[in-house]
Each structure stands twice: as structure tokens, then as C-alpha cells.
Amino acid sequence: MNFDKNEINKVITDRSNVFYWQGDRKITPEVAGAIWSDKHAGINNDELILRMNKMLTDKIVSIDYIDKNYGHVNSVRYATTESGKNVVVRCHPRGIKNGYFFAERGATDATRNIGLPTYETLAVHEIEGSDDVAFQIITKMPGENMKTYFSKNPDITDKLTIMAGKMMARLHKISVDGFGPFDNEVAKSGKLIGLHNSFISAIRASLAFNLEQLQIYDIVNAKEAEGLDKLFGADNHLLHTDSAILVHNDFADHNLLTDGCDISAILDWDECVGGMPVSDVACWSTFYDQKRTEKFLDGYFSISGAISDFQDKFELLRLRYNIMKMTLRLQRYTWNKNEDFRKKIESGKIDVQEGLKYFNLQR
């Protein structure tokens, strides 16, 4: 498929009207599929090493392997430096502009500064033309992917889930300016500034688009969409807050590492935003059942203390994330019609209907 990468780059790097970037990019599913379905293609390791070594004192001597099972956006490559250090290189598809690497660097720097484990960004390269590759070089963190670890060691799930809740609560001690996605250009100076002045504005970003998509596929009807639009409106006191904190926005097992005793790293900050604490908790819960959520909250509340109107805020924000996730699944299914996505669409319908029922909006 032919498309103008310059026009695409203007669209996908503008996050001013995005609630969750992967689901709200203003490009067609067909173009998204053309860009990301084979994101590893066209990136030559020898060329990549030459570019990286222009930026590093401790030079890369080899790219050891490409992880084709990890990440929906970046091609993830593991490399070794002259001193024997292991690093990770996250590459955008060729010609696609980086829209968040500097914001990620700011978020991970702030997180390490309060003693939580995450990677350090060693270098960021921005594309200099349509034939260039944007990349981020980060330190490789110790441990095994927690999702994989649980599949082999299910007995430790509860223990590490409680630890994850505690870790998220500690993360939420980090204050930021503004709400929603961070301004990547401003983040070059080390500052994290959200693109929205209010949490409600950030929550409503792309809501109309999401609801339109759900109506097209009959996930909600017109009356339900109207009710949802009002539910996430300025009059809802549950969405009022004056202070923003750092929200990871994808704090799930697949983005955490463990050594079996503790959580050794938090990964993948590409969706991080300024928000309210409950939004991060609600996002996490969309991946797991009620039993695991209860364990997670045991850990979270042991650090955070009680949160006013927690259950109503939790259900409201969980519904917002489920609306977004349905949009993302429906889009991906148009160019990747696998059984896993189909099942996720069916389970997502149930999740959205449960949210509608909680707020008395169901058909």
C-alpha cells in the first residue's frame, strides 16, 4: 500500500486529541497494518549499529537478536557493547517519526529518581529523512517477563500481584504538570508537560471517535452513546481533579519483569500520561479478573491509603478504557483477523455492557 509518510508522521505525532495513542491514531486501519504488521522489515542491523555508534561512547559491537514476540509498535533488538553491557534498541518502522521517546525518557528518569526500577535511556535518534530509522537505546533490565513467569509459576501470582499494587502506588507519588499525553518536544528539555489543562479534557480526547466506532459495530446504540458522552462530561464530579500524577497506562504483567522474589523492572512507557491515580488502576484491571484485582488493590491501598469515591471512579475509568480497547481491537481485526482478536472483541462487548449497567445506561 502506498501512503505519504510525511503526512502520516504529522498525524501520528500529534497526540493532542488522543486518549490512548495506539487506538486513537487518526490513520486508517489499512495504513496502520501496512506500517506495523511487519515492523522489523527494512531495518538493517549493520546500518543501525553505525548510526548508534555515532551517539555512544561505549560502542555497540553486535546486535544479538530481534524479539519478534514483543511489542506492537517498535522492533525490539538486543545488543552488546564493547564493555560487555547489554542494551535494548527500540526501533520505529523505517521513515516513521518518533512521537514519544523523549517523554518516555522523562518518565523513566523521574521513576528511577524515587527508587523504582526501570531502564535508563542512553540515546534517542530522530529520523533525518524518509529513509532513516528512529530509535531509542535503553539499558537492559534484569528478570523475566512476569506474564511468562506466572505461566510457569502460578503459585507466586498473588504475592507478586500485591507487590505490583504497592509499586504502582509508589509511582503515583510523582507529580507532573498537565494531563494526558506529554509534549514530546518539551520533553527534550527534561520536562513532562501534559497536553491538556484538565483531566476531563484528557478523558474526552477521541471519545467521539471511539463511540462512533462502537456504534458502527453495534457494540453500543445511539442512545447509549449519547449517555456515555454525557457521563464523561464536565458535570461529572468524579472526573474533577486539580493535580496530575504520572500514570504508566500499561502497567500489566507483560510490561513487568521479575526475579521470582520481587518486581525487577517496569517497561514500556510509550502510553504514559498525566492523570489521576485511579485511571492507572482502572487500566490495569482491564487485563485481569476480579480476584486478581482485589489482590492488586490490597497492595495499592496499603501504600496509598483510602481514595474518596474510589469504586465509582474505578468503574467510570474502567469503562473509558474498555471503550478505547474495543476501538483498538476492532481496528486491528480489520487487518489481522486472528482468533485471539475475535475472542477479545467478544469479551470486550461484555466489559462495555457491564459498565453501561453500572451507570444505568444499558439498552
Distance CA(149)–CA(154), nearest Å, equals: 8
132 and 170 inside one domain? no
308 and 279 inside one domain? yes
If one counts the domains in the chain, the total is 2
Q: Which of 122, 139, 156 is the last residue of a domain?
A: 139
119 and 186 inside one domain? no
Write the pLDDT tens digit of every residue in 227-286: 999 999 999 999 999 999 999 999 999 999 999 999 999 999 999 999 999 999 999 999
Q: What is the pLDDT along the chain (363 residues), one digit of tens a residue?
A: 667 888 889 888 999 999 998 888 888 877 887 888 778 888 999 999 999 999 999 999 999 999 887 777 899 999 999 999 999 999 999 999 999 999 999 999 999 999 999 999 999 999 988 889 999 999 999 999 999 999 999 999 999 999 999 999 999 999 999 999 999 999 999 999 999 999 999 999 999 999 999 999 999 999 999 999 999 999 999 999 999 999 999 999 999 999 999 999 999 999 999 999 999 999 999 999 999 999 999 999 999 999 999 999 999 999 999 999 999 888 877 777 778 878 888 999 999 999 999 999 987
300 and 207 inside one domain? yes
Distance CA(271)–CA(72), nearest Å, equals: 12
116 and 244 inside one domain? no
Percent of the chain exceeding pLDDT 70 equals 99
CATH of the domain at 156: 3.90.1200.10
Q: Which of 116, 139, 162 is the last residue of a domain?
A: 139
In a domain, 314, yes or no: yes
Tell the residue number behind the cell numbers 459498565, with chain if given: 355
201 and 323 inside one domain? yes
**SS3 readout for the chain:** CCCCHHHHHHHHCCCCCCCCHHHHCCCCHHHHHHHHCCCCCCCCHHHHHHHHHCCCCCCEEEEEEEECCCCCCCEEEEEEECCCCEEEEEECCCCCCCCCHHHHHHHHHHHHHCCCCECCEEEEECCCCCCCCCEEEEECCCCEEHHHHHHHCHHHHHHHHHHHHHHHHHHCCCEEECEEEECHHHHCCCCCEEEECCHHHHHHCCHHHHHHHHHHCCCCCHHHHHHHHHHCCCCCHHHCCCCEEEECCCCCHHHEEECCCCEEEECCCCCCEEECHHHHHHHHHCCCCHHHHHHHHHHHHHHHCCCCCHHHHHHHHHHHHHHHHHHHHHHHHHHCCCHHHHHHHHHHHHHHHHHHHHCCCCC
Write the pLDDT tens digit of every residue in 100-126: 999 999 999 999 999 999 999 999 999
For the beta sheet containing 263-266, the strands, ordered from the edge strand earlier in sequence to the opposite edge, are: 144-145, 256-258, 263-266
The predicted pLDDT at position 337 comes to 78
346 and 230 inside one domain? yes
In a domain, 114, yes or no: yes
Q: Which of 139, 164, 190 is the last residue of a domain?
A: 139
189 and 321 inside one domain? yes
In a domain, 363, yes or no: no
70: containing domain: 5-139
213 and 264 inside one domain? yes
218 and 106 inside one domain? no
* pTM over 0.85, yes/no: yes
In a domain, 77, yes or no: yes
The predicted pLDDT at position 2 comes to 67
292 and 278 inside one domain? yes
In a domain, 180, yes or no: yes
120 and 203 inside one domain? no
Q: Which residues are within 8 A (CB) of 114 and not within 5 positions of it... i.e. 6 or more apart? A: 170, 171, 173, 174
Q: Which residues pair with 245 in a beta bridge?
A: 175, 275
